[in-house]
Chains A and B, each alone.
Chain A
Amino acid sequence: MTLTLALLAVLAAAVAAGFVAAARARGLRAAPDGGRLNSLPVYHGLHALLWAAIPELLLLALWSPVQTAFVDRAVLATPEGRALPADPVQRQSILAEARDIVAGRIEAGFNPQSTPLAPRYREAEGRLTAIGAGASLLLALAGGFFALGRVRRDYRARSAVERWAMVLLVGASTVAILTTLGILLSLLFESLRFFRLVSPAEFLFGTTWSPQTALRADQAGASGAFGSIPLFWGTAFIGAIIAMIVAIPLGLMSAIFLTQYAPATVRSWLKPILEILAGVPTVVYGYFAALTVGPLIRDLARGIGIASASSESALAAGLVMGIMIIPFVSSMADDSIAAVPQAMRDGSLALGATRSETIRKVLLPAALPGVVGGVLLAVSRAIGETMIVVMAAGLSANLTANPFASVTTVTVQIVQLLTGDQEFDSAKTLAAFALGLVLFLITLALNLVALTVVRRYREAYE
């Protein structure tokens, strides 16, 4: 972990440079020949600290991923490295085992070739870490001396520090774009690898989902069908249909009651309680659905005569998900109804309408764009939800409209495909990234539509 030591050393050098610079500036100010500094000593100190710390921290941050590639290359050039099999996946796994042995995480690897590889790995890693640490330390000292040389009476240290601060601010804002780009690029990259194995037409329009690819030629029950329509149907059925049937009426009526009928004291404690509903982690909802709601619904279904109901029904998952979404619909409806000017409400009441007629005929139509936007955002939240469906819905990809049957969704399959034991390159694990890409694009589209609906159709009240 020499890199951590290098990090600490760079920080220590930067702080030291800062103190030295500040002390020198104070000395200049106390000089007998009328010393009025342009900037306060603390700015000189900060200036030195920033020059000594930030370029070096950037170097260290960029060095660690690059270092792994260099170490791998160096290890593969040694005699033990050249003896490794040519298959890149196997090679990567042996290298990963050697890495773990060097880091002390495991004693010996499964593959016999990884144990003699470990000393070579340690050697190469030590060499390259020393290079990286040395370079960053040199850079820190260079930066510190450069800044120290600038401590003069008329040097505008505060402006220099503020320029650095602007660099940091712009850098922080770019992280958001980098994240979005990162998501898109990583999903696209892996999905393209998937689409080389399975055709996009079969993926997008096929109706059989059975991703178990055959490991041997004669393995039974492995068809490798990757048609994702049953998954999208399951997602839409649970998230967009059942959950919305529960959430929209309940959320809307809750918002109406809270804003129009509830007295202020009742509203002051009712709102936080509804916010608690939004704050409960989805694992808890999922566990509750699997433990209590699922068997309840199954018994209910058996009671009214449907014998084939399972306890992992779409209705159980959809019901709990709908209740989880109620706070979202309720708060968006609340905001849009509150945005309608009081004059419209007062005018309607003055004409003799009851409160419910005012709401139904005046307020709701005026608040409709906001409510529709809120509903779309809630749908986008529901179809991206994972834990409730993983724990309460099933794993079988059915294309059925029976709410008591068990269906599976896109998010459940992503979790299934990536948390089992299989090698990373097979079509099975890459399918998860393709599913993730489609999910990301759908939620992106829903969010954009929701935003434009709200922005374009909202009445401009002054």
Chain B
Amino acid sequence: MLRRVRRRYAAERRFRALGLAAIGVSLAFLAFLIVTMVSRGMGGLTLDFLKGSDSTDPAMVGVWGALKGSFLTILVTMGIAFPVGVLAALYLEEFAPRNRWTDLVEVSINNLAAVPSIIFGLLGLAVFLNLMHLPRSAPLVGGLTLALMTMPVIVIAGRNAIKSVPPSIRDAALGVGASPMQVVFHHVLPLALPGILTGTIIGMARALGETAPLLMIGMRAFITVPPGGIADPATVLPVQIFLWSDEVDRAFVEKTSAAIIVLLLFMLAMNGLAIVLRNRFERRW
């Protein structure tokens, strides 16, 4: 019997080691990725690289054009997705009656959050470019496409944040004499805002790293001048990385890796900001 117990304990130790090994594999892969990118790209991170734009000569390329394009695109995306997403979340959580129509809206939003991003690119191509003739490869079209993609994420995060506000706050506001709309906008929304912002930043980070839908709407062009406004042709950082990875010249490997380092730093900064926001401002009721 002692032998059986010892066998069971040995199995327990093996199982635990397997779990540790699984985590170790993930961590090792992440470390492998970061070390490879840093080792190949560190040399390319010069000030000229950060200020220059795309060119055919690998010694002269820079990411400034792509960074500006990314910034304008994210501006359009957030300008559309944040208001629409927050308002939709408020309606679905606070005011919507429980009928077939709102069930359909809920199912729609949950499905849209899981649709592959390239389908949104096809939608943008068919509607924004072919039907509405908006300028190709502009941050306006890219922002609109990414806004459609980010809005469900914001709605879902918003609903969770609004759900976590306790009913006592709403009842107290109603008791003091506020109208339902005032309860929502003066009391529930400010309290749910940290959670909504956390979800928004995560959605924004995801939109910043998207490539496939922007390829579909034509951001594949060779842009040598940074965009001036949201209707000028532009490119974004992930698409720039993709375009440079196709280049045959080996000198582009260093530049691509350097651009990847810049992109990863941005991602880290935004996710870090979301985590800091969540830890400092989110209240546990």
Contacts and interface: CB of A to CB of B under 8 A. Distances in A.
B253 interface: yes
Interface string A321-338: 001001000000000000
Contact of B88 (A176, A254, A383): A176
A165 B11 CA distance: 62
Contacts of B126: 186-187, 189-190, 433
B9 A387 contact: no
* Majority-rule SS of A interface residues: helix
B114 A282 contact: no
B271 A279 contact: yes
A440 B12 CA distance: 43
B90 interface: yes
Nearest to B85: A172
A172 B133 contact: no
Interface in A162-183: 162, 165-166, 168-177, 179-180, 182-183
Interface of A: 64-65, 68, 96, 99, 103, 105, 158, 162, 165-166, 168-177, 179-180, 182-183, 186-187, 189-190, 249-254, 256-258, 260-261, 270, 272-277, 279-288, 290-292, 323, 326, 354-357, 359-360, 377, 380-381, 383-387, 390-391, 411, 414-415, 418-419, 424, 432-433, 436, 439-440, 443-444, 447-448, 451
B256 interface: yes
A99 B231 CA distance: 14
B114 A162 contact: no
Given A173-B88, A287-B242, A386-B211, 20 more contacts: A173-B96, A175-B88, A177-B108, A183-B122, A187-B126, A189-B126, A251-B22, A252-B22, A254-B19, A277-B26, A277-B30, A281-B208, A283-B241, A360-B15, A386-B118, A387-B242, A414-B122, A415-B215, A419-B215, A444-B111
Nearest to B185: A165
Contacts of A182: 123, 127
B114 A380 contact: yes
Q: Which of B30, B90, B111, B119 has the most CB of A within 10 A?
A: B119
A420 to B, nearest CB: 10
Contacts of B1: none
Given A68-B133, A190-B126, A277-B30, A386 B11 contact: no
A384 B90 contact: no
A279 B275 CA distance: 13
Contacts of A359: 15
Interface string B78-108: 0000011101101110011000001011001
A4 to B, nearest CB: 10
B155 interface: yes
Contacts of B27: 273
Interface stretch (B49-57, B163-171, B261-269): B261-269
Contacts of B256: 287
Contacts of B130: 424
B260 A183 contact: no
Contacts of A99: 133
A112 B108 CA distance: 48
Given A180-B112, A283-B238, A354 B12 contact: yes
A356 B126 CA distance: 53
B135 A105 contact: yes
Contacts of A251: 22
Nearest to A187: B122
